[in-house]
Amino acid sequence: FEKALDLFEQIDIELDDVTYTIVFNACAKLCNDRAMKIGKKLLAKMPENYRNNNIISTSAIDMLMKFGDVESAERFFRSIKAKGADIHGALMNGYNLNGESWKCFKIFEEMKEKNIIPDEIGWNILIGACSKSGMLHHCQYIVNQIPLNIQNKIR
């Protein structure tokens, strides 16, 4: 991953969706001072229209959460106009990583209000939040809402 960042810094390439995703993922994996500097600088310069690309946005949220920068990840999340289950899932996964699992339940409620149904990954993230939070009443509520086809896959 260091070599990917070396290459990124050495050559002058046109930034596209693939480049943003690769660099954000490399920065998230490395999670050192250099990676944080490069990732945050790239994110700050990223054109607004890329924020609505689900792959780039989930990579950016994942990177920020792995840096432990929950506030920046939340701010970035709020700036995205079209949020699907995957982007919500990235935020919830970040909350689990940063010891804020209880926030996953709030995101789940926001998803329900907008008729966004978690995908299989999202349900697994929510179950992870249940196990970490110890909030049994929320956990039973979540489990009762998992569709049967998903329940059969995650058992």
What is the rounded distance in angstroms from the CA atom of residue 18 to the CA atom of residue 42?
13
- For the chain, what is the radius of gyration of the CA atoms? 17
Residue-wise pLDDT for 114-147, tens only, equals 999 999 999 999 999 998 888 888 888 898 999 9
Q: What is the pTM of this model?
A: 0.91
Please write the tens of the pLDDT for every residue from 46-65: 999 999 999 999 999 999 99
Whether 69 has a pLDDT exceeding 80, the answer reads: yes
Extents of the domains making up the chain: 1-82, 84-155
Question: DSSP state, 82?
Answer: S
